[in-house]
Structure 1
Amino acid sequence: MKLSNRLQLILDHIPQGSRLADIGSDHALLPTAAVETGTCVSAIAGEVNKGPYQAAYKQIQEAGLTETVSVRLGDGLDVLKSGEVDVITISGMGGGLIASILDRGVEKLNGVSRLVLQPNVGEDILRKWLLAHHWVLINEHIMEEDGKIYEVLIAVPSEQEGIEITNEALYAERTLDGGLVLSTDWLLRMGPWLIKRPNPIFHAKWKSEINKLNSILRSLSKSELASAEEKSAHIRADIKKIEEVLACLPKDKL
């Protein structure tokens, strides 16, 4: 099966021999490819709505994988039993929604050795959730496909053996070339690994963010509310910080 570059990147970060749960599976494309390539020995495709559930079930039937891929109807991690999978993937949703799915099913994460998450927006919300629940971000990627920018976050439990970095080290205050200091809050917002390995897509994302913030500023300038100026000052400070960060980072580093 030919996956999109986005789904292929997620698949590339699933360890060989895993038992996978793909939540919000979207036609079960990822579980199908994961089992067909031999990356996973089994998979679960979870869907909360009946239409996508039926589409996923049809996909698994047509692929002849009903013995190894289970398609389940349910909300978030409700489709899982504790200890049933090693890896959970959730993609194509907002970071806040992914965090709430993990939060509501947190007891199902016992025994899970890896999360591979692709939020469409709100990546910082997800990083904060991982940090608060003792998951270590071991890698993250940013990519563009069909005019959209995606980030993929890979996390493991902090107590897992063999981890070469701690959350304390990952989010420790960092000084960039040029002497600019980045706080923990800004590392959570922009991505500690993405800042370490910036590429042109990272620059494009944050230049787009500056444009959005400038648009908000223009709207606020028409407001007569007392809070508008305070909000504008906060946004101007954010724009200045993002511009300073981008100026300190190489533009062509992969």
Structure 2
Amino acid sequence: MDISARLKTIVNLIDKCESIADIGTDHGYVPLDVIKNNICNNAIASDINKGPVEKARINVSMEGMKDKIECRLGPGLTTLKVGEVQGVVIAGMGGNLIRDIILQGYDVFKNLDFAILQPTQNPEVLRKFIFEKGLEIIKEDLCIDEGIYYEIMKVKCQEFKNPIEKNEIYYEISEYLVKTKHPIMKQYICDKIKRYKLINDKIRDTTESALRRKKDIEFKINKLEGIKECL
């Protein structure tokens, strides 16, 4: 079973371990792939909705993996017991929702070795939350899947530090990917600049809030332009 570029990038960040859980499972594709490639011995495919769980069950059964992959129905990390898995994947949802899932299941989260997080939007919200919690992003990756950019973060859950202060622009984009000069980081930043310019051009109001919004966007554009030149 072939998986998408997005899911493959996620799988490539998963440490070899006994067991992982895929929260918000995508038809059980990630659990199936990690078992087939001997990355994990067991896996849990979990989702808040019945549809994805049933699809995962069908795929797991078809692949003859029922003894290796358990499918569970429930919200976020509530389907897991503390210490039951070494890592989790929380992918394919907004940064705000991923943050909330972590907070609501923090007893489970803080006992994990690692978490792979892939926000579909608002990555800045998630990064800010991670740094303010004193958590460490140990690795990041970036891919394009069907014309869409996806940022993937690998977080170390157990080593808590004091809140980490970052330049605001590094909530917006990955400092790790800038420093390591990721091969598609420059075009990703160019795409962000283009979208910010389009948004800025559409702001016609002269209200205080509109002018403040324009100033904020222009600040981000200038910062991104500077970073782009270093790549």
| Shorter-chain TM-score above 0.5 | yes
Could you list the per-position Cα deviations for residues 81-135 of structure 1 after superposition, in whole angstroms to 9, with x for gaps in the alignment?
A: 1111001001111111111111111111242101111111222222222223332
Secondary structure of 2:142's aligned partner:
strand
d(CA) in 2 for partners of 1:17 and 1:240?
Answer: 43
C-alpha deviation, 1:229, in angstroms: 2.2
Secondary structure of 2:46's aligned partner:
strand
Could you list the per-position Cα deviations for residues 122-174 of structure 1 after superposition, in whole angstroms to 9, with x for gaps in the alignment?
A: 222222222233321111011112111111101113528xxxxx788xx67xx
Secondary structure of 1:195's aligned partner:
helix
- Comparing 150-159 with 197-206, greater Cα deviation is found at 197-206
C-alpha deviation, 1:190, in angstroms: 1.5
- Comparing 43-52 with 124-133, greater Cα deviation is found at 124-133
Aligned position for 1:97: 97
d(CA) in 2 for partners of 1:13 and 1:199?
Answer: 15
Aligned position for 1:126: 126
Aligned position for 1:163: none
d(CA) in 2 for partners of 1:188 and 1:231?
Answer: 17
Secondary structure of 2:168's aligned partner:
helix
Residues 169, 220 of structure 2: 8 Å contact kept: no
Residues 28, 60 of structure 2: 8 Å contact kept: yes
Residues 17, 38 of structure 1: 8 Å contact kept: no
d(CA) in 1 for partners of 2:94 and 2:12?
Answer: 22
d(CA) in 2 for partners of 1:189 and 1:241?
Answer: 11
Aligned position for 1:206: 189
Aligned position for 1:233: 215
Higher RCO (CA < 8 A, seq sep 6+) = 2
Secondary structure of 2:26's aligned partner:
coil
Secondary structure of 2:92's aligned partner:
strand
Secondary structure of 1:85's aligned partner:
coil
Could you list the per-position Cα deviations for residues 171-230 of structure 1 after superposition, in whole angstroms to 9, with x for gaps in the alignment?
A: 67xxxxxxxxxx52222321120110223522222222222222222222x224343223
Deviating runs (4+, > 3 A) in structure 1?
none
- Comparing 125-134 with 14-23, greater Cα deviation is found at 125-134
d(CA) in 1 for partners of 2:58 and 2:3?
Answer: 17
d(CA) in 2 for partners of 1:156 and 1:108?
Answer: 13
| TM-score (structure 1 length as normaliser) | 0.84
Could you list the per-position Cα deviations for residues 39-85 of structure 1 after superposition, in whole angstroms to 9, with x for gaps in the alignment?
A: 11110000111111111111111111111211000011111111110
d(CA) in 2 for partners of 1:76 and 1:29?
Answer: 18
What is the Cα-based RMSD across aligned positions, in Å? 2.0
Structure 2: runs of 5+ lacking an equivalent = none
One-letter amino acid of the structure 2 residue matched with residue 216 of structure 1: I
Residues 99, 126 of structure 1: 8 Å contact kept: yes
Q: Does 1:84 align with 2:67?
A: no
d(CA) in 2 for partners of 1:192 and 1:71?
Answer: 36
d(CA) in 2 for partners of 1:159 and 1:91?
Answer: 22
One-letter amino acid of the structure 2 residue matched with residue 154 of structure 1: K
Which residue among 169, 173, 185 is the counterpart of 2:168? 185
Alignment length (residue pairs) = 231
d(CA) in 2 for partners of 1:242 and 1:218?
Answer: 17
One-letter amino acid of the structure 1 residue matched with residue 188 of structure 2: K
d(CA) in 2 for partners of 1:96 and 1:198?
Answer: 27
Residues 113, 158 of structure 2: 8 Å contact kept: no
d(CA) in 2 for partners of 1:194 and 1:31?
Answer: 26
d(CA) in 2 for partners of 1:138 and 1:106?
Answer: 19
